Amino acid sequence: MGTRNAKRHCTANEHDRLRIASAEPTVRPAAVENHEQKWSDTIGPSAIKGGGPLQPMPAFESRAEDVLRAVIEGTASVTGDEFFRSLVKYVASALGVRYAFVTECRQKPMVQMLAFWTGDGFGPTPAFDVTDTPCRDVINNGEVRCYTSGLQQLFPKDLPLVDLGAVSYLGIPAFDAFGQIVGHIVILDTKPMDENLKTQAILRIFASRAGAELKRQQAEDSGKRYLRLRG
C-alpha cells in the first residue's frame, strides 16, 4: 500500500471519564506494521500500547461545548431511524466534515449502514464487508481508528473512497451494555483531518448513544415478533 505521504494517529488510553473541558497529555506509540498507528478503543475492551509523550492539545472548550449542544439539540426529540439520520447530519455539520455515517453490526465482518450524510443530503445505506476498509479494526477489534490523510492510498481496495474523494477518517465503535460491538459511527472528509482528542471524545458520546438506540430498537423488534407469534 502507498503509505509514503500518509499521516497517522496514535493510541490513547480511555480516561476514567470523558474529559470534554480539557484534554490531558497522553501517549504516542511507535508505528505498527505497515507504518500504521491507531487509537485504542475507548469504550469497551482495550489493549493499550505504550510510547512517547503526545503534546497537550490547545483548549477548545467553547468549540466542544458548541458541537455537543448542536448535536444534542438536533437528536434529542427523535428515536429510531430518524435518530440515526439526525445524528449523522448534525455530527457532520457541527464538526465541519463532509461525510458521516452510522452502522449496525450483527455478524462480523458485515455491517448495515443505517444513515449516511453526504454533505448536501442523505446517501444510500448499503450493507458492506469491512475487510480492506478503514472500518476493519473498528468493527472486528473494537478499536478507534483515525487516519489523518492518505486514506485512499492506505486502502486501495476500498473503491468507494475514491468515489467520495475521501482523504481522512475517524471511526468509533458502538458497544452495548455487555461490551459487545453493535456498530460504529464514522466521519470522513475530503481534506486532511486534524489530530483532535476532543473530537474523539465527542464522537464517543454519540457512539454510546447510538449503541443504546440500536439495542432499544432490537428489543422493540423482538417484542413485535413475539406479539405476532402469539397473535
Instruction: For 61-76, write each residue's pLDDT tens digit.
Output: 566 677 667 666 766 6
> Cα–Cα distances in Å, from 68 out to 63, 183, 186, 218?
9, 21, 16, 26
The predicted model scores a pTM of 0.69
74-132 per-position pLDDT tens digit: 666 677 889 999 999 989 988 999 999 999 999 999 999 999 999 999 999 999 999 99
pLDDT in the model for residue 48: 28
Q: Sorting pLDDT into bands at 50, 70 and 90, what band is 212?
A: confident
CA 195 – CA 36 distance, rounded (Å): 15
pLDDT of residue 3: 36
Cell of 169: 477518517
Of 185 and 222, the one with more pLDDT:
185
Question: 131 and 95 in contact (C-beta within 8 Å)?
Answer: no
| Cβ–Cβ < 8 Å for 1, 155 | yes
Q: Read off the pLDDT of residues 142-158 as tens digits, 9 standing for 90 and up.
A: 999 999 999 999 999 99
Q: Does domain 27-46+60-230 have CATH number 3.30.360.10?
A: no
Lookup: cell for 18: 470523558
Please state whether the peptide bond connecting residue 156 to the residue before it is cis, i.e. omega within 30 degrees of 0: no
d(CA 115, CA 126): 9
